[in-house]
Amino acid sequence: KAGVTQTPRYLIKTRGQQVTLSCSPISGHRSVSWYQQTPGQGLQFLFEYFSETQRNKGNFPGRFSGRQFSNSRSEMNVSTLELGDSALYLCASSLAGSRGLLSPLHFGNGTRLTVT
């Protein structure tokens, strides 16, 4: 079974630009979550999508947005990039429903975004 796939792996952007990151979950997983990892800050929750609906949202500014498609694939977008947005962005998928609550998140290898 293929794992969670994130593209691209690496991205370099300039301040003020916008970026779109893509995530394909494990087949059969309908819940997709996004996390930001920065040095010394651990993994900070961005948002979670299930059945094309945002189910949870973390404490990030509105410049960070996402969406989920009918095939469960997800994208996140960051507009008006700032230097502090440089981070590893991780996507994770899990089973949905009551089984999903006890099901661990399965992470992709992330997209390393560098803002210059």
Q: Which residue has the tokens 């429903």?
A: 97
- Does residue 44 bind another protein (CB under 8 A)? yes
Residue 99 carries which DSSP code?
Answer: H
Q: Give the shortest CB-87-to-another protein separation in angstroms.
A: 14
- Rule CB under 8 A: choose which of 45, 67, 79, 95 binds another protein: 45
Give 66 or 108: the residue with its C-beta nearer to another protein: 108
Interacting positions 49-108 with another protein (CB under 8 A): 50, 55-56, 58, 90, 92, 101-102, 104-108
Give 12 or 80: the residue with its C-beta nearer to another protein: 12
Per-state percent for the chain, helix, strand, coil, to nearest 5: 5, 50, 40
Distance of CA 48 to CAs 27, 40, 93, 114, Å? 17, 23, 9, 23
